[in-house]
Structure 1
Amino acid sequence: MKIHPSHLLLLVLVHLLTLSPLRAQEDSWHSLFNGKDLSGWKELNGAHVWEVKDGMIVGRTVPGQPNGFLCTEQEFGDFVLELEVSVDTLMNNSGIQFRSQSYPEYRNGRVHGYQMEVDPKPQQWSGAIYEEGADRGWIYPPEKMNEAAKTAFKRDDKDGYQWNHYRIEAVGPIIRTWVNGVPVAHLVDDRFLKGFIGLQLHANNENDPQGSFSIRFRNIRIQKGSLDLTPLEDRVPVVNLLASSNTSARPDNPTFLRIEQDLDASSIAVYSENKSHPILTQSAKPDERPYLHPILAPDGNGELTEYRPAHHPHQTGIYWGLKRVNERDYFMNWDRDYWRRVSASVLKDSGEKVNWQTVYEMLDENGKTLMVETQTWSLQAFADRYVLDLEWQGEAKMDVVMGKFYVGGLFVRMPWVPETVGEIVSASGHEGMELEGQRAIWSDIGIKLDGREDFARIAILDHPDNAAFPTPWRVDSQMGLGPSRQILGDWALAAGESETIRYRLVIYTGAEDKAMLTEVWKDFFGRE
C-alpha cells in the first residue's frame, strides 16, 4: 500500500505531537476503586478503620494497633499506577505498597515489599522507596532526592485537604516514582517482581502525637499492557541494587582477536588468536540484508546460529529487520529490491576488541533510498563468553513511519527443530512464550545443540538510552527472540532525522547465569 506524501507528513506530525512521556492511553487504564465500596480490597495486619466517604477511601488509625494495610485482592507485575492522596499532618507517615506479599510462613503474614513514601513531616521524604516489613529498609533513600523532589509534596493546611498526585512505574527491575509530576526516585532492583498494591496506615510511634489520624485516597487507577513509560532524567540519581556476583563483568585475559575481510565473498570473519576457523562471520553482500552467521560456541563445540530454516526462511542468524516502514516489510524481505550495500568496512582489525561496520540503503518500491541503516559491531572474546555490541543507526532520507507490529528490529535465530530442548528466560521473570510483548532489560535463549549436554546461550541486553527501554520482546514458537520497539506502536522519523539503538549480546554456555548477566548489563549501563 502506498502512502500519499501529504498523508505521511500528517502521520509524522501527529506522532511527534503525541510523544509526551506522560501521555496515557486512556482506554488501557483500569480503576482499582469504584468510589462506592471496598470491593476488590482487603485489610491485612492491623485492625484500623477503613471506609468509603465522598468518593474517597478513608483510613483512620486505631491507637495501639500496628501498621495496617488495605490491599488489592489482585496482584500486579509490570504496571503504571496513579492515585491521589491527602494525609493528616500529625500522622507519622503512610505509604503506597506495591509488588507486596503476605503469607503465613513469613512473620505470620506480615506485609512486605516496596513502599512509596507518603510523608507529612517537615523532613520531606515523600516519594522515596522503602522496603516495608523486610530487611533492607530504605532502598531509594531520602538523601538521594533532589530539592525539587523534596518540595513537591503538599501538606494539609488551614484551607483543608491538599491532594497529591502519585505515580509509580514498575517494569521488570525498573521502578520510578513521581509526586505531583516531579520525578523523585529511580530504582533498579529485582527482589519483588509481582505482588499486590496496598494503602498503609502507619502506627504512631511513642514520641509522635497520639490519637486517631486519617489519610484519604482517590482516583486510584492502573495501566498494564502497552505501557507508556517516561524517559530517564539525568537529574534523578539511579540506585542500582541488582544482585551482584563474584563474576566480573570484564573477566581477566581477553582473547586476542583478528579480522579477515574477503571482498569477493563479501564477508568479514573474526578469528580467535591463531585458530584457523572464524568464531564469527559477518555476511555483507551487495544486494542482500547483512547478517551474522555462523557464530561458534566459546568452547568451539557447535554453531549457535541458523541460516534460513524451513520454518522461517527469511531469518538469518543474527540480523536487523524492521516491519511496516511506510508499509514496506524489511523483516521478511532481504534481497536486492529492498537492500543496497553502501559499504562494509573493518574499523579495527586486531586486538582485545575488534570493530566493523556495514552501511546499507533501504529501498522503497521505486528503488529510491527510504532510510540508510548503519550497523556498528564490536566483539570481545573470553574463555567462557563472547561480548558482542551493536549500535544501530537509522537515518531517514524521506519521512518514514515504522508501523505498530509484533516484531521488528534485532532478531536472533538459533538452531531449532520440533525435538529441540531449550528455554527462554528474562530479567522480568517471564519465561518462554509468556515473555511475548513484555518488557525486560535482558532476555536469554538457551538451546541444547547436537553434540552438547549443556545449553548454548545467546542473551540480549537492552540499553537505558534506547527510546523504548525497557523494550518489549517478540518470542516465536520456534524460540526466535528479539526486542521490538514496534510492539508499542508507530514511531516516526522526519527526513534528515536519525535514531540510534544499542544492544549487547552475551554468548555463553551452561546454565542460565543471571548474576553474570546482571554484572554485564550494569557494565553496559555504565552507571552504578
Structure 2
Amino acid sequence: MKSPTLASLLLLLYAGFLAPFTMPAQAQDWQSLFNGKDLSGWRELNGAHKWEVRDGMIVGSTVPGQPNGFLCTEQQFGDFVLELEVSVDTLMNNSGIQFRSKSYPEYKNGRVHGYQMEIDPKPQQWSGAIYEEGADRGWIYPPEKMGPEAKAAFKRDDKNGYQWNHYRIEAVGPIIRTWVNGVPVAHLEDDRYLRGFIGLQLHANNENDPQGSFSIRFRNIRIQQGSLELTPMEDQVPVVSLLPSSRAPRPKNALSLRIDQDQEAARIEVYAADKNRPVLTQRALPDQRPYLHPILAPDGKGELTEYRPDHHPHQTGIYWGLKRVNERDFFMNWNRDYWRRISASVQPDSGETVRWQTVYEMLDESGEVLMVETQNWSLQAYADRYVLDLEWQGEAKKEVLMGKFYVGGLFVRMPWVPETICEILGASGQEGMELEGQRAIWSDIGIKLDGREDFARIAILDHPDNAAFPTPWRVDSQMGLGPSRQILGDWGLAAGESETIRYRLLIYTGEEDKALKAEVWKDFFGGN
C-alpha cells in the first residue's frame, strides 16, 4: 500500500473528509452562469472583440489586431466544479477557459492572469492542459504530460459543422483537475491562485491574417460549489505538483492558554499554560494607540515585533493606524491628542482560545470624536504556530473620509537592522518590494532573528468579505508590512455608519509553508 502524499492528504482535507464528528455539508445545486438570452453577469476585459448571444450560445468573434480578450464572470469562485460545452473554428489560433483569475489596474494595466484550461483546435492536440495566463510560469501542466487518449479527446469542427466538446474543471484547494469529453487530462497541485473569476478567452489574431475573423461558441455553462464529491482520477494521469516538498505533519492539538489583565499597567498577557513568559502582550494605554508587543516566536526563540525603532519611531509591534482621516494622521501619531481609550477587556476564560477587546475614540483637532475603533482579538496556539484573528470595526461619529494613501490600516513592525536576513512573499508570487501596492490574498514576512538559523514568520491572511479584497499591500524596505484599503483610493463613512474588516495572522517558523497557509486561510472564511 502506498503511503499518503501531502497532496492526497490536502485533497481529503479540502474535500471535507477530515473533519471528525461532523456531518458533511452537501454540495450545492448546479448554478447556471449563462441564462441563454444575454450577457448578464459577464464583462469583457482586455481586448475589444465581438461577444454576442445567438441561439442559446455565447459567441465570441475575434477582431483582427486586438489583443487577447476575455469575457469574465462578475462573480468570483474558490472551490468548484465547472462544466461547459465549447466549439471552436478550426483555424483559430487557440482559446481557453480562465478560472481563479484576476485583473487589477495596477498589474500590467489590468491584464487577466490566472489558470487557463487550454482549448486547442490545431493538430498538436493540447486541449485540457493548464497554462498560467498573463503571468510568469507559462505551462504549469504542460501538454507533454498528456497521454494519447487525453490528446485525442478533443473533437475539431469538420464539414458537418460544429463539434461540441464537454469541458470539466474541478478545483478544490490546491488540487486542480481537468476532463475533455469525459477523458481525464490534467492533475495539477498548485496554490498560487485560490479564488477568482471565470473567463472565456478570445485569442488575438494578426491584423493582416488573410483568414480574417474567427469564432468560438460556448453553451451550458454551469458551476457547483459546497462540499464537492470529486470524480476519481485515473492512475495513468501524471500528477504535476508545484507545492512545497512534503514536511513532517504539524501538530493538530491546540495548547491550553490563559489570559491575564493588569488594569493599572494597561497590559493584557497571554500565556501557554506551562510557560512563565507570555507568548503575546497587548498594551492599551489611556492616551496611546493600542498595540501588540512583544510577540514571542512559537518555539520561544526570539521576538517577532519591535518597539519604536529609530528608523520608524511611530511604529510598534502589530497595530492599526489609518492615514488621512478627514486629513488627520492616525498612522504617524500614536499618542498625544489623537487617541482616547474607552475600554480594554478580556474574556475571563482559559482554554484553547483566548479573546480580548480594545475600544478607543479617535479624536479630531478640537478633541471631538471622529470615530470609535473596536479591535476584537482571539488567539489559538500550537506547539509550532499561533493563529491570531483580528476583527476591526470603525464607527463614524461624524462623516469621515479616509483619503487615498500608500499606507493605512493593519501594520506589522518586525525587528530590522541593515544586516538582517529577511524575506517578504506575496500569494501571487511577488517577492520583496514587488508586493508594494499589489493585491494578494495573503503576504508572508520572514526574518532570521538573532540566535536562530531558520525564519520566524508572520503571514497576514485577507478575508473575502473585506470590501477591498484582495487588499493591496504596503511594504517598506525595513521589514514593515500591512494591507491597506487606502491604496485603492478614498473611502468614507457617513455619521453613524460602521465598517468591519477582518484579518488572520499565522505566526510560525521555518521555510514558507504554502499548504499550511492555504489550510488556515480556508478555515478562516469557511472554505468555498
TM-score, normalising length: structure 1? 0.63
Give the Cα–Cα distance (whole angstroms) in 1 for the partners of residues 214 and 296 of structure 2: 61
Question: What's 1:173 paired with?
Answer: 194
SS, match of residue 343 in structure 2 = strand
- Which residue type is aligned with residue 99 of structure 1? E
Question: CA separation of 1:172/1:402 partners in 2, compared to 1, >3 Å: closer, same or farther?
Answer: farther
SS, match of residue 486 in structure 1 = helix
Offset of residue 277 of structure 1: 1.4
- Which residue type is aligned with residue 237 of structure 1? Q
Question: What's 1:148 paired with?
Answer: none
Where does 1:84-123 land on structure 2 (aligned, <5 Å)? 99-100=132-133, 106-107=142-143
Contact 1:338 1:362 in 2 (8 A): yes
Question: What's 1:268 paired with?
Answer: 268
| CA offset digits 1:257-297 (Å, max 9, x no partner) | 11111111100011111322111100000000000000111
Give the Cα–Cα distance (whole angstroms) in 1 for the partners of residues 327 and 166 of structure 2: 49
Matched, 1:237 2:234: no
Give the Cα–Cα distance (whole angstroms) in 1 for the partners of residues 145 and 363 of structure 2: 61
Offset of residue 60 of structure 1: 4.4
SS, match of residue 174 in structure 1 = coil
Contact 1:60 1:214 in 2 (8 A): no
SS, match of residue 522 in structure 2 = helix
Give the Cα–Cα distance (whole angstroms) in 2 for the partners of residues 199 and 135 of structure 1: 23
| CA offset digits 1:315-354 (Å, max 9, x no partner) | 1100000111111111111113110000000014311110
Give the Cα–Cα distance (whole angstroms) in 1 for the partners of residues 445 and 328 of structure 2: 29
Offset of residue 253 of structure 1: 2.7
Matched, 1:514 2:502: no
Question: What's 1:69 paired with?
Answer: 94
TM-score, normalising length: structure 2? 0.63
- Number of residue pairs matched? 391
Give the Cα–Cα distance (whole angstroms) in 2 for the partners of residues 105 and 509 of structure 1: 31
Question: What's 1:352 paired with?
Answer: 352
Give the Cα–Cα distance (whole angstroms) in 2 for the partners of residues 450 and 244 of structure 1: 26
- Which residue type is aligned with residue 466 of structure 1? N
SS, match of residue 261 in structure 1 = strand
Question: What's 1:199 paired with?
Answer: 203
Where does 1:408-447 land on structure 2 (aligned, <5 Å)? 408-447=408-447
Give the Cα–Cα distance (whole angstroms) in 2 for the partners of residues 123 and 403 of structure 1: 51
Give the Cα–Cα distance (whole angstroms) in 1 for the partners of residues 42 and 376 of structure 2: 33
Contact 1:425 1:444 in 2 (8 A): yes
Offset of residue 137 of structure 1: 1.1
Question: CA separation of 1:78/1:340 partners in 2, compared to 1, >3 Å: closer, same or farther?
Answer: same
Matched, 1:373 2:373: yes
Matched, 1:285 2:293: no
Contact 1:347 1:356 in 2 (8 A): yes
Give the Cα–Cα distance (whole angstroms) in 2 for the partners of residues 135 and 471 of structure 1: 25
Give the Cα–Cα distance (whole angstroms) in 2 for the partners of residues 23 and 392 of structure 1: 33
Offset of residue 527 of structure 1: 1.7
Contact 2:257 2:270 in 1 (8 A): yes
Calculate the aligned-residue CA RMSD, in Å. Answer: 4.7
Give the Cα–Cα distance (whole angstroms) in 2 for the partners of residues 361 and 102 of structure 1: 50
Question: What's 2:65 paired with?
Answer: 38
Give the Cα–Cα distance (whole angstroms) in 1 for the partners of residues 166 and 111 of structure 2: 19
Give the Cα–Cα distance (whole angstroms) in 1 for the partners of residues 502 and 140 of structure 2: 44
SS, match of residue 350 in structure 1 = coil
Offset of residue 135 of structure 1: 8.3
Offset of residue 435 of structure 1: 0.5
Give the Cα–Cα distance (whole angstroms) in 2 for the partners of residues 406 and 239 of structure 1: 39
Question: What's 1:505 paired with?
Answer: 505
Where does 1:102-501 land on structure 2 (aligned, <5 Å)? 106-107=142-143, 136-137=177-178, 172-177=193-198, 199=203, 215-216=214-215, 237=225, 251-501=251-501
Question: CA separation of 1:81/1:509 partners in 2, compared to 1, >3 Å: closer, same or farther?
Answer: closer
- Which residue type is aligned with residue 479 of structure 1? M
SS, match of residue 306 in structure 2 = coil
| CA offset digits 1:92-115 (Å, max 9, x no partner) | xx99x97347679944799x9xxx
- Which residue type is aligned with residue 258 of structure 1? R
SS, match of residue 136 in structure 1 = strand
| CA offset digits 1:210-239 (Å, max 9, x no partner) | xx998448xxxxxxxxxxxxxxxxx98379
Give the Cα–Cα distance (whole angstroms) in 1 for the partners of residues 508 and 313 of structure 2: 26
Give the Cα–Cα distance (whole angstroms) in 2 for the partners of residues 248 and 345 of structure 1: 38
Give the Cα–Cα distance (whole angstroms) in 2 for the partners of residues 525 and 399 of structure 1: 30
| CA offset digits 1:141-160 (Å, max 9, x no partner) | 9xxxxxxxxxxxxxxxxxxx
Question: CA separation of 1:255/1:198 partners in 2, compared to 1, >3 Å: closer, same or farther?
Answer: same
Contact 1:281 1:295 in 2 (8 A): yes
| CA offset digits 1:455-485 (Å, max 9, x no partner) | 1111111111111111111101112110111
Contact 2:268 2:283 in 1 (8 A): yes
Give the Cα–Cα distance (whole angstroms) in 2 for the partners of residues 247 and 510 of structure 1: 11
Question: CA separation of 1:129/1:109 partners in 2, compared to 1, >3 Å: closer, same or farther?
Answer: closer
| CA offset digits 1:24-63 (Å, max 9, x no partner) | 9x9xx8657799743767xxxxxxxxxxxxxxxxx8425x
Which consecutive unaligned segments of at least 5 residues does structure 1 have?
1-21, 42-58, 83-93, 113-118, 142-170, 180-196, 202-211, 218-234
Give the Cα–Cα distance (whole angstroms) in 1 for the partners of residues 315 and 424 of structure 2: 18
| CA offset digits 1:327-382 (Å, max 9, x no partner) | 11111111131100000000143111100000000001110110000001111111
Deviation larger for 246-255 or 342-351: 246-255
SS, match of residue 289 in structure 1 = coil
Give the Cα–Cα distance (whole angstroms) in 2 for the partners of residues 37 and 107 of structure 1: 27
Contact 1:416 1:479 in 2 (8 A): yes
Give the percent of matched residue pairs that are identical in Structure 1 and Structure 2. Answer: 63
Give the Cα–Cα distance (whole angstroms) in 2 for the partners of residues 23 and 402 of structure 1: 31
Give the Cα–Cα distance (whole angstroms) in 1 for the partners of residues 357 and 140 of structure 2: 57
Give the Cα–Cα distance (whole angstroms) in 1 for the partners of residues 410 and 323 of structure 2: 11
SS, match of residue 196 in structure 2 = strand
Give the Cα–Cα distance (whole angstroms) in 2 for the partners of residues 371 and 477 of structure 1: 31
Give the Cα–Cα distance (whole angstroms) in 2 for the partners of residues 102 and 527 of structure 1: 28
Contact 2:131 2:139 in 1 (8 A): no
SS, match of residue 511 in structure 2 = coil
- Which residue type is aligned with residue 137 of structure 1? T
